[in-house]
Each structure stands twice: as C-alpha cells, then as structure tokens.
C-alpha cells in the first residue's frame, strides 16, 4: 500500500507542475503513473479532483483575460459532453480508450512540432468550437482529460499563448467543476477515496504554483513547443500503459 501511495504522490507532483506550466494535461500525466496501480474509476476521480485543484491555483496565479463570446461555444459543447463521458465511464474499456487517444497524440503532435510552418485553421466557426468543447466534455467525464482536444484545436487555430491559456484555463475550470459535481452526485466519488484526495491535494499545490511561475517567462514559440511536446509524451505514456494489456 505504501508503494501505491508513493506512486500517487509522484504522479500528483509531476502532473501538478505540468498543468501549472501548460494550463492542461493533469489527467494525462497523472494517468501515466496511476494507471499502473489504481482501479480505473479511482484513477479517473483522482485525475478530475487533481486537475480541478490545479485549475483553481492557476486561475489565481495566472490571469489571462476572459472573453465570454469566444469561450461560450466551448463551454456549451462541454456541458453537453460531460454526461456522455460519465455515462460511458463504468462500461468503458480504458485500455482501448488510452490506446486510441495515445495513437492520435503520437501521430499528430510530433508532425506539428517539427513542421517548419505550422498549419493553421483560419476560418472562424462557433459550431466547430462547440463540437471541440463537446469532445473535451466527454473526455472530462471519462477522467479529467478536458483540455486535450481543445488545446490541440487552439494550437491549430494559431492563438497566441495568452489567448489559448485564457480559453483552456476557463474551459477546464468550468468543465472540471461540473464533472466533479457529477461524480459526487452519481456515487462515482466515494468516502473510501478521501485518503487519496488528502495525498493528491497537498502534493500538487507547490509544483502547480512553480509551473505557473515558469509559464510567465516563456515566449509564444516556447509555449507551443512545450504544449506539443507534453501532448506527445502523454500519448507515448498512454500507449505504454495500454498496448501491453491489449496484447496480453
């Protein structure tokens, strides 16, 4: 049991720092540690709880504006997607989910990272933003992965780091609040999980704050590289934790 608690702690520390720096990815990073030792439902709940805690810290430490007109389609789509993700969670084959998501990240993000001219989506479309928000909501319901698809989308749109941070940070905060409330109301989050909550919260607070401090000092290009590199590493971690189980 001590080994399990240690892995939970290390996962929270690393994921907290990454989320503070990038504004997302707590669930992806934490799952790369926790998927080996925790039940999928417990890991998903801890990922949502940790991501929500980190977003609160980031919202206080890094304020980058609030554009309701730009944010609203993402949030409305996300609110529609969360119940779908929560409904799928009890019956989801987590190995297949991680393998598919990992393949997507590993295939696409390195190409974007090393491309001399990053392809951009220039057309404005609130419906498309809403669909992306719904995808984020579904993935949030499955385990706190709210920011992965919207972050990739904002990167393709060519938003500068502060605009992207404001969208992802506010979207994640609202989606994670709703997801955690849904977990509590449906009984997915239980009393037996409280000792793990008590480990995750203090373990991640200082690393998250340090990540937000580092974010302030980096350029747009450096931020894009950090985001795409983190997405790639997250995809590799997901594949490592899922493919052996699928083969077996």
Q: How many helices (H) and strands (E) does the chain have?
A: 10, 0
Q: What is the per-residue pLDDT across 139-190, written as a single tens digit (0 to 9) for each?
A: 888 777 788 788 888 888 888 888 888 888 889 889 989 989 988 998 989 9
Residue 173 φ then ψ, to 5°: -60, -45
Residue 230 φ then ψ, to 5°: -65, -40
Residue with tokens 């994640």: 172
DSSP designation for 116: S
Check whether 69 has a pLDDT greater than 90: no
For residue 170, give the nearest of 237, 70, 40, 98 by alpha carbon: 70
Q: What is the per-residue pLDDT across 14-55, written as a single tens digit (0 to 9) for each?
A: 999 988 887 777 887 888 788 778 888 898 899 999 999 988
Angle 94-114/148-157 helices, nearest 10 degrees? 20
More confident residue, 21 or 191: 191
First to last CA, the chain: 25
116: confidence class by pLDDT, cuts 50, 70, 90: low
pTM, two decimal places? 0.79
DSSP designation for 95: H
**Average pLDDT in the 184-206 region?**
93
The alpha carbons of the chain give a radius of gyration, in whole angstroms, of: 17
Check whether 122 has a pLDDT greater than 70: no
Classify the C-alpha dihedral 91-201-24-30 as positive or negative: negative
């Amino acid at each position: 049991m001590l080994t399990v608690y240690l892995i939970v702690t290390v996962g929270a520390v690393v994921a907290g720092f990454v989320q503070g720096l990038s504004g997302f990815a707590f669930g992806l990073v934490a799952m790369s540690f926790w998927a080996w030792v925790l039940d999928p439902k417990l890991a998903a709940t801890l990922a949502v709880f940790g991501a929500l805690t980190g977003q609160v810290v980031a919202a206080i430490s890094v304020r980058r504006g609030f554009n309701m007109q730009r944010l609203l389609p993402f949030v409305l789509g996300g609110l529609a997607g969360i119940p779908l993700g929560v409904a799928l969670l009890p019956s989801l084959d987590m190995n297949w989910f991680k393998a598919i998501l990992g393949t997507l990240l590993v295939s696409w993000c390195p190409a974007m990272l090393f491309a001399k001219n990053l392809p951009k989506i220039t057309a404005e479309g609130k419906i498309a933003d809403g669909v992306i928000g719904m995808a984020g909501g579904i993935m949030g319901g499955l385990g706190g992965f709210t920011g992965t698809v919207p972050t990739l989308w904002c990167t393709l749109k060519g938003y500068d780091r502060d605009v992207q941070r404001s969208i992802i940070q506010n979207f994640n905060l609202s989606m994670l609040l709703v997801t955690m409330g849904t977990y509590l109301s449906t009984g997915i989050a239980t009393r037996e999980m409280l000792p793990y909550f008590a480990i995750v919260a203090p373990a991640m607070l200082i690393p998250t704050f340090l990540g937000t401090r580092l974010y302030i000092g980096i350029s747009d290009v450096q931020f894009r590289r950090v985001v795409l590199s983190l997405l790639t590493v997250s995809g590799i971690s997901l594949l490592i934790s899922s493919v052996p189980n699928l083969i077996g």
